Structure 1
């Protein structure tokens, strides 16, 4: 199967290889670099209880040597030509990515496919990496403005894998064996659940030909009919912890929309209005007017079948109650009062500007390509995204505020100094 879409400046193409892997590209002739990502449709929410953290652990371990290269050779292969190689794991997918000059495209593809299809998982490296991951856990716990989000998700998705930290738990990480890693990869790293996304100065036909050559011998596997665990009904909760911190940290929020929700664009505009920058209502009314905080913002997380929203703030412990009152007042204001036309226009311009500026970076374009294919199985052009934002009305924004802020109780997490 092959798809081609052309605009004035970009050519998008998609090809499904015989083994089932999808190749999606954006050709941008005006640049001299390419960003390539190998996406795997598996994240921490796909783990069994005893596997918590294994997706993230595998993402680390593939860099510890493949059938063709040792650890230092993997990094050197990209860095010695001025490129950048990294990876990340989310709740729903894993991505290995490279950015290089366009003349090294074949090297980038070769490296990524080697990592995902031919890791060795040396026993000695597995034991060493366990200690690395445990140190990573401690790092997060020592960073309250990150750790608090793990506690918040644990409340919002109580009893579900989405509520677990991506890095897992100490007892599960210590239990991982080479056989467990290989078994998990065999179940989830199948070509039909992979997307190769590339953006920059490239020819789609060459990317396809190189990828096919590198995957020679990889046979298609039966479609993996994965059934993700359904998310239970939302039950609000509250958690207050005392830790060795100087500031109090607060997150207030609840369940939101999924990625396919028809009001997704209106939620993005609402989030921008509420806490999406220095001109947002939270920043202007709580930081600038009262001086209660240095950092305050709102956030939205959109997953395939569910989502969440919230407000984060760090403040003096004596001001937590008053600050929470002020946040709730801003939320109530959005429920009760329609947004003015000029304010709405400014918020939509901010959303559109962020979208357009992001497209000037090849890595951002590649990330957008990969996510679109994984979640929607299709290409959303920049014009389509801009039009979606333009269509948002004040009535839609208020309707979203009522659904999320007024029709469900909030969950709350507070970290206080010991």
Structure 2
């Protein structure tokens, strides 16, 4: 079980000619892509539910459900669940993000039926055994403590808390120790009933399978009736964002820096933004790495990332450095951001970023799991799938002028916020 940030660092998906989509009478959307030449398959059962659908009082409910469904269903106990796919050479797992929860499996093609049976059993027939609830709360609280002991993870949670303030997007995916401890069985069941509805869900299969086969099993194992809407997702008002600068003292050895801002989603400039992110902080040859690490020796780790949500994206830059080198590191980051404003990126640099992105697209085609994941995300965020040729063409079509234009939208220094973790001075509590 995992926590994931919704990050857009690469793009890969399927050939449109191989993708089929059907919406069942109960509202469940079924998407498949047959991949020739493989003997396995990947299936994901997704719900459009995550921590942004919670309140401070039930924060962590989506992630708690992701854990608890593995503890027993009306057909299987937790031991039978754990052995269900491993006994036929497959595996089963799940993850939660701010906007989605996914239960996924890999198996050999001949085990499609048991794969769908187990996934739908977990999602639609969990029993939430009372004796397991408190035990799993303790497990998740230890997971939260682990994040708190990992500053380069925790800083992203704290940054979102300050950036989104009272909006649910600022809630941590796992919840807090207090909110998780307060969850009851009734709270958990109520959240499940409100959010785990077929019309909010996707069943996505890729690999050695047919659309008809997945449809048939979905009709066998998924509840037939459409339910009435029980929850409405709170939208984010971009106008409420106020840039901030904060320093927090932590019992750590290294300073951690996160600089970023939200920006309005503009899907027609999606690949321009991804390429900008790639050349700025997407690898060893990126501007930030060459400057801060290779030239100045200030950092071990520095990178930039884009996180995608329903109505906005966020762009952020992370760096870890010595406590006495924070000012210089922050200044150099802003210097690199400024270098991208008002001038075109050299052709050779843009070509290198395009090669990186095209490589990610092509290599992603070799993983049925990545194909499955990107089919789902493309459906949720773009309402369609993209063919391999389309993806390559969209990457190639981005010009230096496009990069310059999107940089002016994303890299406005007046809109950036900064969060710094500083090591506590010795002798201070």
TM-score higher than 0.5 here?
yes
1:277 corresponding residue in structure 2:
283
Paired residue for 1:304? Answer: 310
Q: Distance in 1 between matches of 2:15 and 2:69?
A: 38
How many angstroms does 1:281 deviate by?
A: 0.4
Q: Normalising by structure 2, what TM-score?
A: 0.92
CA distance in 2 between partners of 1:161 and 1:227 (Å):
9
1:83 pairs with 68, 90, 95, which one? 90
Say whether residues 1:199 and 2:224 are aligned partners. no
Corresponding residue number in structure 1 for 2:375: 369
43-52 or 304-313, which moves further after superposition?
Answer: 43-52
Tell me how many residue pairs correspond in the alignment.
410
| Counterparts of 1:111 and 1:383, CA distance in 2 | 35
The structural deviation recorded for 1:168 is 1.0
Q: Are the equivalent residues in 2 in contact too, given 1:44–1:92 (CA < 8 A)?
A: yes
**Who is 1:289 aligned against?**
295
Structure 1 residues 174-203: Cα deviation after superposition (integer angstroms, max 9, x where no partner) = 111111111111111111111000100011
- Give 1:389's match in structure 2, choosing from 370, 387, 395: 395
Structure 2 residue aligned with 1:153: 160
Tell me what 2:407 maps to: 401
| Structure-to-structure mapping, 1:344-359, within 5 angstroms | 344-359=350-365
Q: 1:252 touches 1:311 (CA, 8 Å); kept in 2?
A: yes
* Contact residue 155 and residue 236 of structure 1 kept, 8 A: no
More relative contact order, 1 or 2 (CA 8 Å, 6+ apart): 2
RMSD: 1.6
Report Cα offsets for 1:247-285 as digits up to 9, x if no partner.
111111111343x53212111000001000000001111
Q: What are the equivalent positions in structure 2 for 1:299-338 lying under 5 Å apart?
A: 299-338=305-344
1:29 to 32, 36, 40: 36
Tell me: CA distance 1:44–1:7, structure 2 relative to 1, closer, same or farther (3 Å): closer
Deviates more, 1:49-58 or 1:272-281: 49-58
Q: Select the residue among 219, 229, 238 that pairs with 2:225.
A: 219
Structure 1 residues without counterparts, runs of 5 or longer: 1-5
Q: Does 1:46 align with 2:46?
A: no
Cα gap change, 1:225 to 1:391, in 2 (>3 Å): farther
Contact 1:19 1:218 in 2 (8 A): yes
State the secondary structure of the residue aligned to 1:14.
strand
Cα pair 2:104 2:119 within 8 Å, conserved: yes
Aligned twin of 2:73: 66
| Contact 2:49/2:99 (8 A) holds in 1 | yes
Picking from 222, 234, 247, the partner of 1:228 is: 234
Shift of 1:58: 0.6
| Residue number among 131, 155, 178 corresponding to 1:124 in the alignment | 131
Note the C-alpha offset of 1:231: 3.3
**CA offset at residue 155 of structure 1?**
2.0
Q: 2:194 aligns with which of 183, 187, 207?
A: 187
Q: Is the 8 A contact 1:157 1:231 kept in 2?
A: no
Instruction: Find the aligned partners of 1:11 and 1:310 in 2 and give their Cα distance.
Output: 35
Tell whether the 8 Å contact from 2:264 to 2:312 is kept in structure 1 after alignment. Answer: yes
What secondary structure is seen at the aligned counterpart in 2 of 1:323?
A: helix
Corresponding residue for residue 423 of structure 2: 417
Structure 2: tracts of 5 or more residues without a match? 1-13, 425-429
Deviates more, 1:145-154 or 1:387-396: 387-396
How far residue 126 of structure 1 moved from its aligned partner, in angstroms, is 0.9
Tell me the distance in 1 between the aligned counterparts of 2:250 and 2:397.
45
